[in-house]
Structure formats: structure tokens, C-alpha cells
Structure 1
Amino acid sequence: MPSFKIKVKWGKELFQDVEVNTDEEPMVFKAQLFALTGVQPERQKIMLKGAILGDASWDKVKLRDNAMVLMMGTKDEDMPSMPVEKTKFVEDMDEHELNKALEMPAGLQNLGNTCYMNAVIQCLKTVPELRTSLSNYSGRVNLAQGSDAESITAALRDLYKTMDTGSTIPPIIMLQVLHNAFPLFAERGEQGGYKQQDANECWYQMLRMLQQKTEALSESSKGNAIEQFMGIECETEMKCAETDDEPAKKDVEKFLLFNCYIDKDVKYLHTGLKNRLLETGLEKHSDVLGRTAQYNKTLTITRLPGYLTITMMRFQFKAKEAVNAKILKDIKFPVMLDMFDMCAPDLQEKLKPMRTKFKDYEDWLVETVGKAKGKGESTKQEKLTQDLPLEECEDWSFPGDKGSNNSGYYCLQAVLTHKGRSSNSGHYVGWVRNKADTWLKCDDDEVSPVHEEDVLKLSGGGDWHTAYILLYAPRRLPKNRGGDESTASTTPAAAAEGGEKMETS
């Protein structure tokens, strides 16, 4: 492996023993220099003996150990301020300028089949408590081979901070630390470019890394922010289907993602989620029978997290073709989701008080807002409560378990879709809720507004974008309600038409 230790001179700074691997693209080296200097890769000019390093190859620059490389470039904060631009009216703007004027969030450049990672990053960015925990993290990025949880956590923290400036950026460092931690994601195809990867696997592995480094926020028995706000807990019972003489075995299992199992009878998300609660035909050794036997496993939810991640199990491995083939079936998913009937009886009892408050609020909206402003207005106003500041809403967690869900009710917050026929090909896109019925389609560096109705059409049934991962947030309940007109008056007036009712079994 052609690896060298070199010196890099940047202005008055001199960096010693910088490791460079010329088997990797120059952009990886530029990402290292970005971590050292804060100079964005596109602003770097790297020279050795008059030769300038390009982005695609090392052909013009021949390195050796202890070579002195000169880098020129300035950080964002060192750039001179630009002159004030002449006022431009909306009707004169192109699509890019319009999105910027509407304060569209930053997109992420595709670095070669990296849409799977970009979509995951955009969806996870919608969890404010994760952002808070990341901002409290003090670790640093290490681009050395084998770096994992610390580097991924620090890289995601830094990437979100840069994205908050609103500029589309290349997530080079994030990609590098992901490749270092999981070499599978760095696989290359016959043409030398990166292979497409499974977004669900990326989502899970990133959560697993963040689980090790993020700290829990206050009032929680959980050890980290991921378990606190995204951790599901279930009570399980394993029973042998071939004899009653063997007692059932009970256990507790924890998940970060809840699977929706799809079969010929599943048409709605709720049905697929209930399928997850019963697994039949499991094979294991029976001490009573002295042989391998069939077992059935049942699950009941004992803890609901504030943010529920659902994976649509759309891919099945076909050994003959060696691909994860896609199930294209149309599975409807709701904007508002109710998980009550999947919970254990003890948890259901704990959920009832907050559910009663929601029912009273819904009745008041129908009686007061509905009658005053017409049919459908109460549904609009109820949905707009998701946009209220947290201080104007009831706490959605149980006392002593901050990050849990105390009602069983959820609102759709983000959708990650896949377009194509296998998980390792095609294209991934993130769709995130903005305000009211307005969503944002985050297609790599292109971020554009869409209506909620367009998101609900991502349920499958063809070769169009199909929902693969759903992220639900806790449903919010206003503090001012039940005859207090201030609730309706403080919600935004510009509500979108329509609304999705809760799905029932």
C-alpha cells in the first residue's frame, strides 16, 4: 500500500507526519486537511514542486516520505464579506434562488452512490433531541483507519453544524469515517466507483455508533440519547408448539428499529407492525423433546420511545441472483399512528390518562373550531399543533423516563424512500416534514418543497420512490385547550387542506 508521512505547510502553520494513502482518491487527503485546517476541500490548492493536486488522481503529484506540500486556501470565517446584492424579486428567481429565498435547508452532494448516507443524515437531522446531545459531545474526528464511534459521532455533529449555514456541502469527512468504521460501505464496483449500499443498514449502524457516545438528557434511566429517545423495549415469550410439557420462556428484548413484516395480506402499516409481534415456525433445540422443534415467539411492547423508527421489510435475499430483491407491494402508512393495541396491558394503563386528554382536545376542536370555521378545519388545527413550541405543549414523556412516549400517538416526521429493484442499486431520497402540510424532498443536493399528499403517495405499488424507513415523532398536545380559544388563535393560520386520520386495525 503506497502510504507516506509528509509535511503540509499552510500559511504560518506546519503540520508534521500527515499520513497519506495514494491508493485513495485525493479528496480523502483533502478531507484530512479540512479536519486539520477548517478549509473546505473546494477551496484548497495543494502544490508540490509546482504541480497542483487534482480531485481525481495523484498523477501530477509524486509523493515520498517527508515531502513538503504547500496548501493555499482560506476558511469560511476568514473570507472577505461579499458586496450587498441588488434586490431580486421572487418572480425573477430561478429554482435554486427561490429555494434559497424560502430558507431551504442544506443539501448534501452525492460523492458517488452515497445517496443512501445522505438520505439517512437528512432524516435523523429532524430529531431535535439528537441534535442537542450531539452539540454536547466534545470528541474529535480521527481519520485513521479503524476509527469508529467517536469519529462518527463527532463527524455527524460537525456536519449538522455546517448544514445549519444553509449551504450545500460535500459530506467528505462523514463518508470517510463511515468507510473506516464499516469497510463494507467502501466497496467499489468494476468501474472503480463506490457501490450502492443499503440505507437501512447505514441507519442502524449509525445509531449503534451514536449509542456508544451520545449522553442521555435529564430525567432518564437510559445511558445514552439513542436508547432514551429511540429505544423500543418488548417482553417476549417463547413457547414450543409441539409440546405443552415445556414451560414458556420469558425475556426482554430491546430494539432501535421496529420492523413491518409484509405478506400477501398486508395492505396497511398497522397490520404489518402487528405481524412483527408474532413469529411462528422458529426452530431450536427442545430439552424436553430431545430434538429440534418448532417454536412460536410473541412480543408485547413495554416501552415506546418518543421517536419510532419503522423499517418496511421490502427486501428478500435471492440466492440465485445474489441480490436483495424488492417487494413492490403498496402498503399504506398514516400521518398519525396509534401504537396502543401493540402494548402490554401494564403500559396501556399508563398510556390512558394522556390519551383521555387527547380525546378531550379532539372533541373540543370539533365542537368549537369545527362549528365556527367549517368541516375539516378542526383536523387542520389539530395537525398544526405539531408546529407549536415545546413550552406550549404538554410533556410527551412519562415522569422519570424522559424520551418515552406517554400516549401511544405519533405523527409522521420523515420518510426514507428507495427507487429501484434491489437495496444495493437504485436511488435513495429523504423526505422530511417542514411545517403544516409542507414537506421537503431531500434528493442529495436538491432540496425542494412538496405537499403532504405527495409523501403519502410513496406507499409503493410500482417503480416510483417507495417508503423504506418511516420516522414518527411524538404527537403534541397544547397546554391551552378545552374551551380556551387561545389554542386556535396561536396556531398558524395558513393550514393545508386535508388530513390523515388515525389508522386502525
Structure 2
Amino acid sequence: MVHVSVKWGKQSHDVDVDTTMPGLVFKNQLYSLTGVPPDRQKIMVKGGMLQDDADLSKLNLKPKQKLMMMGTADKLPDAPTNAPVFMEDLPEEEQDVTGYAKYGAGLRNLGNTCYMNSTLQCLYKVPELRQSLAAYQAVAGPPDPAHKLTLATKELFGDLERSSQPVTPFGFLMQLREKYPQFAQQRNGLYMQQDAEECWTQLLYSLRERLKEAGGEGSDSVIQQLFGLGLHTRLLCAESEETIEEDSTVYELKCNITVDVNHLTEGIRLGLQDDREKNSEKLGRLALFAGSSAISRLPRYLTAQMVRFFYKVDTQQKAKILRKVVFPLVLDLYEFCTDEYKKALEGPRKAWQEAEDKRAGLEKAAKAKAKSAAKDDKAQANGAAKAEEAKPEGHANGSKADVEMKDAAEPSESTSADSEPYKGQLTGRYELTAVLTHKGRSADSGHYVSWAKQDDGQWLQFDDEEMIPRKEEEVIALSGGGDWHMAYLLLYRAVKA
């Protein structure tokens, strides 16, 4: 990155130039700052005008170097009025012809960036993260890469919320590559495909550094509150009978895949076994410790990684495990928790179950009541007709009073007093809200897309700039076993009491 100053008319803009990118990327940066489209920009550089395909690394740009740009900006839109605006009256690029703009927007692929696009679309489905980013402010002092990446994420999420057309994530990509140069790796002059899980992990790490809960610098990280999962690990050495207890925070559960793993929970159980070599004080040397972990704190959003990729020494690249591993729409992690945390979850779980039973009971009672009422109406009508036929001529209405029909008593809708203290607490259950999938045989190739459940229950597939409606059964079918898209990262949202 080279920090330069670009003068345009009376304005001057400070810009970080990624010299590994072509000239068009630099022009798009200036477009976002000045409103001058790239095709109208005339930027004076050594050797003449900057071309779209120019190799910026050959310009020998110096820090704080001043560049001159000429060009006319697009006309600004008129001030808003209270008059209604119809879609057909909007410019073509602003029209939502698909009807999916309420769900966000697609992201354009900038050359093997589907790993980044799919990660962003999944994380965009976390409203608490969007709110925290929207409230994020600039910091005093020189901006560090984590701060600039956080600001770029904030701006990009804002664009996704406002736009009805695919968004070009140039700014975000540049800040991602500045903070993590691994995502700028090239092969034969082209940017390489990267691992979506690594992008997910690195982005959350930067956001964890910057996003704090209300309360200032000493407060917990928003990312820790949303995604942080507490683990208590017990390590036992069979040789020395030593025991070590450890507590840690992780941001995803691993689903290890072997020939015996057919379901997500089986892989998670395997992933919580963590054997490792540690120094034994009794033996005075390294020894093998058998480790097993249990969950001591659950987050609001759970990330589960299908560990599908491993490194093959002979080919020197990541290979992929294609085995089918079924994942549920509702995941219950109670069995993986520590005994102490299980006790804390019992109250909320009971309250949630009571609420579910009550809801099911009310629905069942309503159906039974409607069925009974229809049957009574029919019987009453038949009885009245028969009684009318049986009456002798001139006979008055029967002296016996009509039987009064009463509705069956409905179950009480009042909430149990015992369940009130647990309202809003975690239950250990999670609902699937997004899936990041990979298609192909290697992490260094293939294609990533995301599948996200919207607030109205509609599933959408985000394939770079395309938004495709999907059915729930299509999402369930992403369990693997072939060359089709298969789940790599699963994002679950907590079910609360």
C-alpha cells in the first residue's frame, strides 16, 4: 500500500493505493470519493495518462506523492420530496426487478473472490453485528489495518442494505489484503482462490479487536458475545496420571469427518477430543495427554465447521473429504455441555418446552373446538328437523328447555410464573440460519456460495451477484456425498426461552 494525495479541482483526497492491483481498481476508489466514473477520469502519472490495465507497481509511487485528476462527476440526485416514487420511474440501475432487494444485494466477483463474498453474505445475516458496525466510529490517531478493515465492513454492509443492485466490494477487498496479505497471493499473474473459513476467521479476529460492547475499551468484544464459545478442557496423562484443567474461548466448533461420522453431532463429539503432547512435571519430559472438552458457555450464534480439507503431501495442496455428513435444521448442544452449565440451562429449557407444549396445545384445542362445533351444528340441525317431523298437528313447541351448549374450556394462555425468570435466556438449542458451501475437489479451486434464511422464512442462495430463491429441502441436501455444493460452514442462531 502507498498513501498518495489526489487533487481534483479544488478538492484533495488521501488514498491508499494497492500497487498489486490494476489501474481500474484505483480509479474505482476515486469514483467512490469524487463521483467521477472511471471512464471519465484522466489521471496524470509518469509516462502519460493512467490506463485501466496499468501495472501500478511499475509507477514507483512514493508516500504522500501528489497526483492530478481531471473529469466530470455524475450529476447528483435531486433533493428528496414527499411525493411517492414508483419503481418504473427510477433509473434502470436502481430498479428492483427481482423483488429480493429487501433481503440485501449480491456482491460482484473481483477475480476468485467468491470465498470472500460468501463469508460476507453469511455474516450479514447477523443483525446484532450489523447494528454494532453501524455504530462504529473512527478512532483518534493513525488508523491501523484492523480499524480500516472494520470501517470497510461497515461501509459494505451499509451498501448491501441500501442497494437494489449488486455491490462491488473493492474497498473491502483492498483492506482485507492490506491486513492479511495471504489473500493477495497470485499464481501466473492471477489472484488465487482462498479458503473461506480462513477469511471468516481472520475477519472476525479483526472485528473482535475493534467492536466493543457499550461501556468503552474495557468492555467485552461484541464478537465474543455473539460468537464466542467457552470450553473447559481436561487433559489426562496415562503415564504419570497427571491432570491439567484449562479454560478457553473458541469461535467455532469443529466437525471432524471420518469413515464413522454420518451426522454433525458425531463429528462435533469427535472434534471435542483433543489429544496433545505437553510437558509432564512428574516425568520431566514431553508426554501424551488425552484431552476432552465440554462447553462451559454458549454464544448467541454458533459456527460449526465441517473439517473437509486436509493437506496432501504428494500433490502439495489441500484435498477434500466428500463424505456425506447430515446436519439438522435444529441443533441441540445440551449433551456437549459441562455438568455445571447443564444445570444453568435446565430452567430455560423447561420454560421453552412449556411454551412449546402450550402453543401446541392451543393449536390442538383450537382445531378440536372447530371440529366439535361443526359436528354439534350438524347434529343440532338434524335433531331439529326430526323433531319437527314428529310433532302432531297443532302441537306446541316442546316444554323441555333446549339443552344449553357450552364450549369446552380452553387451556389457559397465561404464562407459568416459574418460566418468567428464564425469558430470553439460552436453551442450548440452535436454528440453522446460514450455510456456506463449496463445490469442487480442492480448497484452492472450486466455487463458494452462501445460503441464508431470511426473516420471513425464505431461503436465498447468494452466488456472487446472483440471488436465487431456494427451498428448505434444497438446503438440507447440502450434506455432501458428490460433486455438488456441500456444507463447509454452518451458522446457527440460538433459540431462547
Question: For this structure pair, what is the TM-score category when the shorter chain's length is used for normalisation?
Answer: 0.7 to 0.9
8 Å CA contact 1:104, 1:447 repeated in 2: no
Shift of 1:30: 2.6
Q: Which residue matches 2:35?
A: 39
Q: Which residue matches 1:251?
A: 246
**Whole-angstrom distance in 2 between the partners of 1:229 and 1:119:** 19
- Structure 1 alignment gaps of length 5 or more: 375-393, 398-405, 478-505
SS of equivalent residue, structure 2 residue 236: strand
Shift of 1:313: 0.6
Structure 2 counterpart of 1:322, which letter?
Answer: Q
**Whole-angstrom distance in 1 between the partners of 2:323 and 2:24:** 40
**Whole-angstrom distance in 1 between the partners of 2:140 and 2:464:** 23
8 Å CA contact 1:459, 1:467 repeated in 2: yes
**Whole-angstrom distance in 2 between the partners of 1:64 and 1:408:** 55
Matches within 5 A, 1:22-101: 23-34=20-31, 37=33, 39=35, 45-48=41-44, 53-57=50-54, 68-74=67-73, 78-80=76-78, 98-100=97-99
Q: Which residue matches 2:318?
A: 324
Structure 1 counterpart of 2:255, which letter?
Answer: C
Alignment of 1:416 with 2:436, yes or no, is: yes
Shift of 1:52: 5.7
Q: Which residue matches 2:387?
A: none
**Aligned to 1:187, which of 180, 185, 188?**
185
Alignment of 1:312 with 2:306, yes or no, is: yes
Structure 1 counterpart of 2:192, which letter?
Answer: K
Alignment of 1:356 with 2:353, yes or no, is: no
- Structure 2 alignment gaps of length 5 or more: 369-421
8 Å CA contact 2:211, 2:221 repeated in 1: yes
Shift of 1:108: 0.5
Shift of 1:157: 0.4
What are the Cα deviations for residues 47-73 of structure 1, in whole angstroms up to 9, with x where unaligned? Answer: 4399764432259x9898766522435
Q: Which residue matches 2:445?
A: 425
**Aligned to 1:229, which of 226, 231, 251?**
226
8 Å CA contact 1:11, 1:72 repeated in 2: no
Shift of 1:242: 2.5
Q: Which residue matches 1:390?
A: none
Structure 2 counterpart of 1:471, which letter?
Answer: L
Structure 1 counterpart of 2:484, which letter?
Answer: W
SS of equivalent residue, structure 2 residue 277: strand
**Aligned to 2:424, which of 387, 392, 396?**
396
**Whole-angstrom distance in 2 between the partners of 1:141 and 1:331:** 48
Structure 1 counterpart of 2:280, which letter?
Answer: S
**Whole-angstrom distance in 1 between the partners of 2:251 and 2:74:** 38
Structure 2 counterpart of 1:232, which letter?
Answer: L
**Whole-angstrom distance in 1 between the partners of 2:300 and 2:66:** 53
SS of equivalent residue, structure 2 residue 427: coil
What are the Cα deviations for residues 403-442 of structure 1, in whole angstroms up to 9, with x where unaligned? Answer: xxx2111111111101111111111101111145421111
SS of equivalent residue, structure 1 residue 201: helix
Name the CA shift for 1:64/1:470 in 2 (closer, same or farther; >3 Å): closer
Shift of 1:284: 3.2
Q: Which moved more, 1:217-226 or 1:448-457?
A: 217-226
What are the Cα deviations for residues 9-52 of structure 1, in whole angstroms up to 9, with x where unaligned? Answer: 33431347x565655311342354256x2538657623439976
Name the CA shift for 1:127/1:68 in 2 (closer, same or farther; >3 Å): closer
Q: Which residue matches 2:158?
A: 161
Alignment of 1:449 with 2:443, yes or no, is: no
**Whole-angstrom distance in 2 between the partners of 1:110 and 1:9:** 30
Alignment of 1:263 with 2:258, yes or no, is: yes
8 Å CA contact 2:478, 2:486 repeated in 1: yes
What are the Cα deviations for residues 168-200 of structure 1, in whole angstroms up to 9, with x where unaligned? Answer: 11100100011111111100111x111000000
8 Å CA contact 2:438, 2:446 repeated in 1: yes
Counting matched residue pairs gives 433
Q: Which residue matches 1:463?
A: 483
Q: Which residue matches 1:273?
A: 268
Name the CA shift for 1:20/1:327 in 2 (closer, same or farther; >3 Å): closer
Q: Which runs of 4+ in 1 moved over 6 A?
A: 61-65, 81-86, 140-144, 218-221
Name the CA shift for 1:428/1:86 in 2 (closer, same or farther; >3 Å): closer
Structure 2 counterpart of 1:211, which letter?
Answer: R
Q: Which residue matches 1:115?
A: 114
SS of equivalent residue, structure 2 residue 268: helix
**Aligned to 1:149, which of 139, 146, 164?**
146
**Whole-angstrom distance in 1 between the partners of 2:101 and 2:209:** 37
Name the CA shift for 1:4/1:261 in 2 (closer, same or farther; >3 Å): closer
**Whole-angstrom distance in 2 between the partners of 1:187 and 1:100:** 37
SS of equivalent residue, structure 1 residue 417: strand
What are the Cα deviations for residues 284-307 of structure 1, in whole angstroms up to 9, with x where unaligned? Answer: 333323443322001111100011
Q: Which moved more, 1:101-110 or 1:295-304?
A: 101-110
Q: Which moved more, 1:149-158 or 1:356-365?
A: 356-365
Shift of 1:162: 1.2
What are the Cα deviations for residues 262-283 of structure 1, in whole angstroms up to 9, with x where unaligned? Answer: 1111111111111122224x33
Q: Which moved more, 1:433-442 or 1:447-456?
A: 433-442
Name the CA shift for 1:72/1:104 in 2 (closer, same or farther; >3 Å): farther
SS of equivalent residue, structure 1 residue 116: helix
Shift of 1:476: 4.4
**Whole-angstrom distance in 2 between the partners of 1:272 and 1:475:** 22
**Whole-angstrom distance in 2 between the partners of 1:218 and 1:351:** 27
RMSD of aligned residue pairs (Cα, Å): 3.5
**Whole-angstrom distance in 1 between the partners of 2:348 and 2:287:** 44
Structure 2 counterpart of 1:212, which letter?
Answer: E
